[in-house]
Chains A and B, each alone.
Chain A
Amino acid sequence: MLKSLKRQNHKLSSPEGQIEVLDDAESINIPSFEDKMADIGFSQFKPTGIEIFQVNVGKMCNQVCAHCHVDAGPDRKEIMTKETMQQCLDAIEGTDIKIVDLTGGAPEMNPHFRWFVEELRAIGKDVIVRCNLTIILANPKYNDLPEFFKKHKVNVVSSLPYFTAKRTDAQRGDGVFDKSIKALQMLNAVGYGKEGTDLKLDLVYNPAGAFLPGDQETLTAQFKRKLLEYDIEFNDLFAITNLPVSRFLEYLVKTEKYEDYMHELVNAFNPAAAAGVMCRNTLSVSWDGYLYDCDFNQMLELKVNAPSHISEFDLKALSNREIILNQHCYGCTAGAGSSCGGATT
Chain B
Amino acid sequence: MKETYYNKEDLKKFGEITEWQKELGDKFFDYYNSVFKEGALTAREKSLIALAVSHAVQCPYCIDAYTTDLLKKGVDEEQMMEAVHVTAAIKGGAALVHGVQMMNQVNDKLM
Q: Which B residues are CB-close (under 8 A) to A205?
A: 74
Q: Which A residues are CB-close (under 8 A) to B76?
A: 162-164, 167
Binary contact track A54-75/B, C-beta < 8 Å → 1, others 0: 0000000000000000000000
Interface segment among B53-61, B65-73, B84-92: the answer is B65-73
**Total chain B interface residues with beta-carbon distance under 8 A:** 10
Cα–Cα, bound, A213→B69 (Å): 9
Cα–Cα, bound, A207→B69 (Å): 12
- Whether a CB of chain B sits under 8 angstroms from the CB of A211 is yes
- CB neighbors of B among A206-233 (8 A): 207, 209, 211-215, 218-219, 222-223
Closest to A205 in B: B74
Binary contact track B29-49/A, C-beta < 8 Å → 1, others 0: 000000000000011100000
Name, among A162, A214, A223, the residue most crowded by chain B CB atoms within 10 Å (CB to CB).
Answer: A214
- Whether a CB of chain B sits under 8 angstroms from the CB of A3 is no
Cα–Cα, bound, A212→B76 (Å): 15
- Whether a CB of chain B sits under 8 angstroms from the CB of A7 is no
B residues adjacent to A (C-beta < 8 A): 42-44, 68, 71-74, 76-77
| The residue from A163, A167, A212 contacting B72, defined by CB atoms under 8 A apart | A212
Number of A-B residue pairs, CB cutoff 8 Å, is 29
- Whether a CB of chain B sits under 8 angstroms from the CB of A77 is no
Contact B71 A218 (CB under 8 A): no
- Whether a CB of chain B sits under 8 angstroms from the CB of A166 is yes
Q: Which B residues are CB-close (under 8 A) to A219?
A: 73-74
Cα–Cα, bound, A214→B72 (Å): 4
Contact B77 A207 (CB under 8 A): no
How near does chain B come to A36, taking the closest CB pair, in angstroms?
Answer: 19
Cα–Cα, bound, A222→B68 (Å): 17
Cα–Cα, bound, A137→B73 (Å): 31
Query: What would be 28 A-B contacts, judged by CB atoms less than 8 Å apart?
Result: A162-B74, A162-B76, A163-B76, A164-B76, A166-B77, A167-B76, A205-B74, A207-B71, A207-B72, A209-B71, A211-B68, A211-B71, A211-B72, A212-B72, A213-B72, A214-B72, A214-B73, A214-B74, A215-B43, A215-B73, A218-B42, A218-B43, A218-B44, A218-B73, A218-B74, A219-B73, A219-B74, A222-B74
